[in-house]
Amino acid sequence: MATNESLDSDAITFRHILGEAFISNGPLASVTVALTAAVAFAGGALPLTVLLGALIALTWINTPYQFSAYISSAGGIFSFIRSTLGDRWALGGGIGYYLYGLLLIPANALVMTSMFVYVASVFDVTLPSWIWIPMLALITVIPFLLAYFRITPTLVYGVITAAIEGVVVIAIAIALIIHAGHANTAKVFVSPHLAVNGWKGVIIGMALAYTALGGPEVVVFLGEETTKARDSIRRALRIAQLSVVGLYLLYSYAVTVAWGPGKMGDFALTTAPGLVLLNGIAGRVVMLIVSLLILNSIVGVNVAINITASRMLFDQARMGLWPAALARTHRRYHTPVLALAVTTVIEVAAAVAARQIWGPLEGFVILIVAATAGAVFSFMITDAALIKLGLVRESGARLWLVWIPLVSIALLGVAVYGNFFPIDFPTTIGPIALLSCMIAGFLWATVRGRRGETIPATVHDPALAGPPVAPSPERERVDA
């Protein structure tokens, strides 16, 4: 297969970017599956925890939003960190973000298997124990293929999927609120005593909720392929993150009042509780249709992760931090095919290892906690990179470049404490292993040194602080 080392410049427009921002979050899958983990701690205070989780999401999204005014690169967060903190912190933080995305895919495979076992049981069908194997193949092979070919048709799929998901989530939420009738109450937004262990449960649930609210920042990895990247990416970040927060607040309120604030402990222990509620009010045929849409939502999330992770790996390789072969792209489709293949192999290996060692339920928890650690650690490093940029710029911009990222770091610190302390094995194996990988990346960049090309990204601000680099003239592109 013939290859080169360039992505498809100016192939993506704003609507494609917006589609990527939404499918990366997978609203339909997340509200019906991912929020269940938060409920285990938040209980009937789920809407309160989502509201507090939204504070983390909104303060964090400011960081890629601000950096996007200065840099557009396939490296995304890796390039942001590199611009002010250098290669070592960039590779360490980049590995954290890379594994954050990758570990969500095997976790999705494990939880989706359990969900469809429940759906089949509603129709009096018993699925075999090996059903997890074709499920894993389905949600890894299809995203691989969608990310392999030219990116534009893939993101058209994202636009359509995002529109369908938004409509379905809103429709389900409205139906549940109507079904709740007199049980509707605003207390779920202001009553921490409804959570397990009060504020302690709220804090842990808040951290899990903010993870579910994440994803829109992946659009920064499409900087080299987007027309008018600076404006398109920043606009998509605003719209997508605010929309996702609104959807989650609506849905978290709806399921809490429909199930009953005082009964949310049972919600957390139920397989696919959102589908149980839907089956109760709309019947099993509607539930089956929504289940298939959830599966499509998971595929969309995995497509977005593959696009993001492969481009980060590609960018790190052309910086000389990984073998040069990972910087090659398909001559016809202009996608980083080898980086994508490596990414997919790691995803499958993690899924198989987690299930074989810990089983589907505990394996899912370990993968999710590890992914959360990757998000938290990489976000904190990126926040620190923005603070360094803010300290050398005019004081008028420091609210957005210094103070808000400081708040983000503080809130993420609360998430670290709530989720990882006290240390409890085997759950904390994931964060420990992930942090070890980040440290290894830091050391590898130190040993490797700067080799290969310098930043082949659009740098909008020549005064941007960072390592002394000379962008490649043939790749530098300044948006109008």
Q: Residue 185, SS3? A: coil
Buried b (16+ CB within 10 A) or exposed e, 24-62: bbbbbbbbbbbbbbbbbbbbbbbbbbbbbbbebbbbbbb
Residue 145 lies in a domain: yes
**Could you tell me if residue 3 is inside a domain?**
no
How high is the pLDDT of residue 456? Answer: 47
In order of 258, 261, 264, the CA distances from 268 in angstroms are 14, 12, 6
Is residue 418 situated within a structural domain?
Answer: yes
Q: Is the confidence at residue 393, as pLDDT, over 80?
A: no
CA distance 452 to 445: 13
In a domain, 36, yes or no: yes
Query: What are the C-alpha distances in Å from 417 to residues 175, 259, 414?
Result: 37, 30, 5
> Of 100-114, 300-314, 461-475, which range is least confident?
461-475
Q: What is the structure's pLDDT at 201? A: 87
Strand partners for 329: 4
Domain contains 417: yes
Return the pLDDT at 462.
47
The residue ranking higher by pLDDT, 127 or 456, is 127
Q: Is residue 474 part of a domain?
A: no
Mean pLDDT of 6-26: 90
Lowest-confidence region among 56-65, 193-202, 268-277: 268-277
Q: Is the pLDDT of residue 463 over 70?
A: no
Q: H helices of 392-468, where? A: 398, 404-420, 429-448
**Residue 31's closest CA among 252, 280, 298?**
252
458 bridge partner residues: 72
DSSP state of 74: T
Q: What's the structural domain count of the chain? A: 1
pLDDT at 32: 72
pLDDT value for 452: 40
Residue 175, classified by CB atoms within 10 Å of its CB into exposed (0-12), middle (13-18) or buried (19+), is middle
- Tell whether pTM > 0.95: no
Within a domain: residue 98?
Answer: yes
99 within some domain? yes
Angstrom CA distances, 217 to 33, 44, 135, 223, stand at 21, 29, 27, 12
Range of the structural domain that residue 110 is part of: 10-459
pLDDT at 454 over 80: no
Q: What is the mean pLDDT of the chain?
A: 87
Residue 293 sits in a domain whose CATH number is 1.20.1740.10
- pLDDT category at 416 given cuts 50, 70, 90 is confident
Q: 17: burial class by Cβ within 10 Å (0-12, 13-18, 19+)?
A: buried
| Confidence check: pLDDT of 295 > 70 | yes
Q: Of 373 and 65, which is predicted with more confidence?
A: 65
> What percent of the chain lies above the pLDDT cut of 70?
90
